[in-house]
Amino acid sequence: MDPILGIDLGTTNSVVSIIKDGKPELLCDELGQGILPSVVGLDSEGRLLVGQEARNQALVAPERTVKSIKRRMGEEATITVAGNNYSPQEISAMILRTLKDRAAKALGRTCTKAVITVPAFFNENQREATRQAGEMAGLDVVRIINEPTAASLIYEPHSERNERLLVYDLGGGTFDVSIVQIEQGVVEVLASHGDTHLGGDDFDQLLLDHVCDAFAREHEVDLREIPTARSRMLQAVEEAKKRLSFEVFTTIAEEFIAEKGGKPLHVNMVIDRRQYEPLIEPLLKKTLTRVDAALDDAKLNAGQIDRVILVGGSTRTPLVHDLLADQLHQELHSEIDPDQCVALGAAVQGGLIGGVDVGPVLGDITPHTLGIRALGELHGMISDDVFSKIIPRNTALPASRSEIYYTACEGQKVARLDVYQGENQNVRFNQGVGGFCLEGLDEKAEEGNEILVRFQLDLDGILTVTAVERKTGLEKQLRIDNAVTRFRAKSQADAKAKLATMFGQAGEETPDDRSITEAGKEAAPGEPQFDEAHELIAKARRLIQEASTEDAAEMRKLVGELQEAVAKADADRVQQIREQLDDLVFYLQDA
Which entry of 90, 169, 337, 469 is annotated as an active-site residue?
A: 169
| Least CB distance to ligand AMP at residue 237 (A) | 10
Q: Which residues bind ligand AMP (CB under 6 A)?
A: 10, 12-13, 171-172, 199-201, 238, 241-242, 245, 312-314, 316-317, 339
- State which residue, 9 or 141, has the beta carbon closest to ligand AMP: 9
- State which residue, 56 or 576, has the beta carbon closest to ligand AMP: 56
| Least CB distance to ligand AMP at residue 399 (A) | 12
Alpha carbon distance 556, 553 (integer Å): 5
Determine contact, residues 398/483, Cβ cutoff 8 Å.
Answer: no
CA 466 to chain centre: 24
Known active-site residue 169: yes
| Least CB distance to ligand AMP at residue 33 (A) | 13
- State which residue, 119 or 422, has the beta carbon closest to ligand AMP: 119
Determine contact, residues 461/366, Cβ cutoff 8 Å.
Answer: no
- State which residue, 163 or 202, has the beta carbon closest to ligand AMP: 202
- State which residue, 245 or 327, has the beta carbon closest to ligand AMP: 245
Alpha carbon distance 536, 574 (integer Å): 11
Alpha carbon distance 339, 17 (integer Å): 12
Classify residue 18 as exposed, middle or buried by CB count within 10 Å of its CB (0-12, 13-18, 19+): buried
- State which residue, 10 or 74, has the beta carbon closest to ligand AMP: 10
Known active-site residue 8: yes
Three-point CA angle 558, 562, 567, nearest 5°: 150
Gyration radius of the chain over CA positions: 26
Alpha carbon distance 333, 306 (integer Å): 11
* Bond into 360 cis (ω within 30): no
| Least CB distance to ligand AMP at residue 134 (A) | 20
- State which residue, 12 or 181, has the beta carbon closest to ligand AMP: 12
Alpha carbon distance 125, 135 (integer Å): 15
Which entry of 23, 70, 100, 389 is annotated as an active-site residue?
A: 70
C-alpha to C-alpha distances, 582 to 536, 539, 587, nearest whole angstrom: 7, 10, 8
| Least CB distance to ligand AMP at residue 279 (A) | 13
Q: Smallest Cα–Cα separation from 20: which of 348, 365, 334?
A: 348
168 by DSSP, 3-state: which?
strand
Determine contact, residues 51/98, Cβ cutoff 8 Å.
Answer: yes
| Least CB distance to ligand AMP at residue 29 (A) | 16
| Least CB distance to ligand AMP at residue 201 (A) | 6
Classify residue 426 as exposed, middle or buried by CB count within 10 Å of its CB (0-12, 13-18, 19+): buried
Which entry of 90, 100, 147, 247 is annotated as an active-site residue?
A: 147
Classify residue 525 as exposed, middle or buried by CB count within 10 Å of its CB (0-12, 13-18, 19+): middle
User: Catalytic positions, please?
Assistant: 8, 70, 147, 169
